[in-house]
Homo-oligomer: A and B are copies of this chain.
Amino acid sequence: MPLSSHRDFAAALAFAASSVEHTMDRLLPKGDSDEARVYEAMRYSSLDGGKRLRAFFVLASATLFKVSALAALRTASAIEFVHAYSLIHDDLPAMDDDDLRRGKPSCHKQFDEATAILAGDALQALAFEVLAHEDTHGDAGVRAHLVGDLARAAGAHGMVGGQMLDLLAESRPDLSIGAITRLQRLKTGALISFSCTAGAILGKASDPPRMALSAYAHDLGLAFQIVDDLLDIEGSAAELGKTPGKDAAAGKATFVSILGSERARAQADLLARQAAAHLEPFGDAADLLRQAANFVVARRA
């Protein structure tokens, strides 16, 4: 049953999550060799957790270009591996020092710091191994394109650069909205953008649809982050599955600390509507992505 047969967003999201989970499970290492501790840590932190929103973006955008389910699921798995690695490393004591992730002890609490560092490193390598494999796409040019785009999104000019900015932003309540926007565009926006455009790459789409999806991702990623900041103020650990209130405690500037809750909420809603507007060229085929924009601003966790 393809994703596109789901007209309801919640059902489609659940379907995407369980499909990608199944694919990730098959791609992750397992066995009882002496080094299996790192396999276990990789599985612990990447399986059975999260909304799988990035995977959903890959699968939903792939339906616009008649991409095979296998290609989309392997690409979605690669992105989720990178996302999982980034959470493991972000939670480390030297970084955000978080004991709780997705309602469970974070990787270094469940295992130890060394194992957590290695599990993150191996998950990043696995992502590129999966993308480069011919099962992901018969055209090697597509595979190399995916590897290059994901590597850029994950690296110093993307996610890692954003995390560096985020660490430097601690105890800097004076950051401007422009600086915070740039930080978030790198830290979370780059990977979300890759998730939304991967389907177009897999389907060898022309530039205009890929650009439209990139614009959708840009606005949606920012809306997503603003809502994250709102939930960090308003949410509870039980709802979030992670420790709330950390940004305020760290004296960190966020969209909410600068704009206030009300204006931040209005800004997120505006961005979500803007995101949906970029989908116009795709007509009804993009309905799930439209619903995703609503979901992102309406979510409680």
A51 to chain B, nearest CB (A): 23
Give the copy number.
Answer: 2
Known: A35-B186, A132-B148. A94 touches B112 (CB 8 A): yes
Known: A34-B165, A37-B168, A161-B38. A152 touches B124 (CB 8 A): no
Which of B115, B120, B156 is A29 in contact with, Cβ under 8 Å? B156
User: Which residues of B lie under 8 Å from residue A133 when comparing CB positions?
Assistant: 148
Bound-complex Cα distance A143 to B143 (A): 9
| Residues 37 to 62 of chain A near chain B (Cβ within 8 Å) | 37-39, 42
* Pair A89/B164 contact, Cβ less than 8 Å: no
User: Which residues of B lie under 8 Å from residue A186 when comparing CB positions?
Assistant: 35
User: Which residues of B lie under 8 Å from residue A92 when comparing CB positions?
Assistant: 114, 117
A160 at the interface (CB under 8 A from B): yes
A 7-20 to B, binary, CB cutoff 8 A, 1 in contact else 0: 00000000000000
Bound-complex Cα distance A114 to B97 (A): 11
| Residues 118 to 150 of chain A near chain B (Cβ within 8 Å) | 118, 120-122, 124-126, 128-129, 131-134, 139-141, 143-145, 147-148, 150
A106 to chain B, nearest CB (A): 14
Which of B38, B147, B154, B161 is A144 in contact with, Cβ under 8 Å? B147
Known: A118-B163, A143-B140, A144-B147. A155 touches B125 (CB 8 A): yes
User: Which residues of B lie under 8 Å from residue A168 when comparing CB positions?
Assistant: 34-35, 37
A230 at the interface (CB under 8 A from B): no
A 242-260 to B, binary, CB cutoff 8 A, 1 in contact else 0: 0000000000000000000
Known: A35-B164, A94-B112, A95-B114. A128 touches B156 (CB 8 A): no
Known: A34-B179, A179-B34. A125 touches B154 (CB 8 A): yes
Bound-complex Cα distance A144 to B140 (A): 6
Can you sample 11 A-B contacts with CB below 8 Å? Answer: A37-B168, A39-B156, A94-B117, A114-B167, A118-B160, A118-B164, A121-B160, A125-B152, A125-B155, A144-B144, A147-B147
Interface positions of A (Cβ within 8 A of B):
29, 33-35, 37-39, 42, 85, 89, 92, 94-95, 112-115, 117-118, 120-122, 124-126, 128-129, 131-134, 139-141, 143-145, 147-148, 150-152, 154-157, 160-165, 167-168, 179, 186
